[in-house]
Chains A and B, each alone.
Chain A
Amino acid sequence: MPSRLDTARFVGAAVVLAAFFYARSSPSQSAPTEFQQGDASKPPVLDGWYRPVIRQAKKGNPAPAPKHDISGTWDPGQAGIQILGAGALPDDGNPEHTPPYTALGLQKLGLTKPSAGFRTVLPTDSNDPAYACNPAGMPRLDLHDLRVTEILQTPREVIVLYQFGRIWRKIWTDGRDFPKDPEPRWLGYSVGKWVDDTTLVVQTWGTDERTWIDRAGRPHSTDLRVEERFHRVDGDHLELSVTVNDPKMYTKPWVSLDKLRFQMMAPDYDSREMMCSPAELDEYNRLMGAPLSNTDGK
């Protein structure tokens, strides 16, 4: 357990950081950082096959967006990591970044102990299900360590392959409706519809309420509906926005991701493994997590 002094320091630090965040007029959703290939003073950025990373994006004007096509390998850069929780409303102490909780939502929020954001706790005090290698679920796949994302399309489905966790997910685009009274699933049930030539709107319902919205511990119920808008800006860029709608937990829908921009990667890009291994996590907690939290009995 932290000492009183540690707690006081922590609270003090929190106040300082909050002051910084008050000054931030917009959340951290900047464009992806350009890779530094060609800079001899820095090591090359390598893909999972240990080959230098090359972006598909070219200098000059990219090709126009193809119709009804978001397929490709996409990189959101650092902005996809969302270390403080949902990118559009990071849990940084700024009241303007507080989702519109209901009373029940606030009560549920009080039960989550995140190891990120303004309410962070020491590592082994957290009850974050994802850090125990449980499925992130939806919409957390979009709001926590969203990294290189590969999208495959067929005439009746869109398949999304996420680098973080090596998770795949299917969005049906064949016109079907949601199943009636479905059993909750970690990733729920997703259907997509093209609302114009370049925008696929995906609705997800039927998620398992054991998951969190993001790494800051925002809660949801089984009534959660998630809307994702995939917008193909041009040949080389994609944008993703995510809206959370859960009347039990939130008084109104809130935008959790606002036009996060992805850049197209070369088609032969090989993403690195980033998987949660209980064995590796146990070892990490034994060597590091428990001592950091003073819970290793020493």
Chain B
Amino acid sequence: MKRNFLIAFVSAAVLAIACTPSFAHHGAASYDLDKKVVFKGIVTQYLWANPHVLIQVEAAAEGGQTVHWVVETENPSAMVNLGWSKDSMKTGDQVTVTVTPVKNGRPYGRIIDVVLPSGQKLQGIHIADSEVPRPPAASEAPRQ
């Protein structure tokens, strides 16, 4: 299991995803929107607060080390509409988190989704959806 997790973590699913860059509040400029990271770990804090909901997660890493992740999504008011609540998770829960990582390589990210111990998947509000106008439809594409 540890090996599997290591593979999951190290490979860290750095995937190219089709999204536009963003220029918005609360650090959207900090994120590497071309990447996606998946990790599994134990919740050490679930902070249901403004301006953004935060989760701290202790994730196992190579050589028996742990990595302390801090990840964010939108404000509680917005998250309620996606099924989140103040009781969505608690300290000690094992979760699998998919995030857009920060550019500086540190373990911080913007939540794409979180899988709870029950198997329920909570969607985050991705930067590309919330803070960037939609790209033009094909019919509006710039003429060459």
Which A residues fall within an 8 A CB radius of B?
A: 2-3, 6, 9-10, 13-14, 16-17, 19-25, 28, 43, 45-46, 83-84, 90-92, 115-123, 128, 131, 215, 272-277, 280-281, 283-284, 287-289, 291-294, 298
Contact = CB atoms under 8 A, between A and B. Distances in A.
B54 A291 contact: no
A287 B132 CA distance: 24
B103 A9 contact: yes
Nearest to B122: A43
Given A6-B103, A24-B133, A287-B70, 13 more contacts: A20-B135, A23-B142, A24-B136, A45-B81, A46-B80, A46-B81, A115-B27, A123-B30, A274-B50, A281-B51, A284-B52, A289-B26, A292-B102
Contact of B106 (A10, A120, A291): A291
A183 B126 CA distance: 43
Contacts of B33: 13
B83 interface: yes
B7 interface: no
Given A120-B29, A277-B50, A280-B50, A288 B83 contact: no
29 contacts: A9-B32, A13-B21, A13-B33, A16-B20, A16-B21, A17-B132, A21-B133, A25-B140, A43-B82, A46-B80, A83-B24, A83-B131, A84-B23, A84-B24, A115-B29, A116-B131, A117-B24, A123-B27, A272-B76, A272-B77, A274-B50, A281-B50, A283-B49, A288-B27, A289-B27, A291-B108, A292-B27, A292-B104, A293-B27
B67 interface: no
Contact of A2 (B72, B103, B106, B134): B103
A218 to B, nearest CB: 15
Nearest to A78: B130
Contacts of A19: 142
A91 to B, nearest CB: 8
B28 to A, nearest CB: 7
Contacts of A116: 23-25, 131
Interface of B: 20-30, 32-33, 47, 49-52, 54, 56, 70, 72, 75-77, 80-83, 102-104, 106, 108, 130-136, 140-142
Contacts of B30: 122-123, 292-293
B51 A284 contact: yes
A196 B87 CA distance: 50
Contacts of A91: 23
Given A20-B20, A22-B142, A28-B133, A115 B25 contact: yes
Contact of A17 (B23, B25, B70, B82): B23
Contacts of B27: 115, 122-123, 288-289, 292-293
A188 B104 CA distance: 42
Nearest to B81: A45
A115 B29 CA distance: 8
Shortest Cβ-Cβ A-B pairs, 10 listed: A13-B21, A43-B83, A292-B30, A123-B27, A23-B136, A120-B23, A292-B27, A272-B77, A23-B142, A116-B25
A123 B26 contact: yes
A120 B24 contact: yes
A284 B25 CA distance: 13
B111 to A, nearest CB: 12
Given A283-B49, A287-B54, A17 B24 contact: no
B73 to A, nearest CB: 11
A122 B29 contact: yes
Nearest to B23: A120
A274 B141 contact: no
A256 to B, nearest CB: 16
Contacts of B130: 83
Select the residue from B30, B81, B141 with max chain A CB neighbours within 10 A.
B30
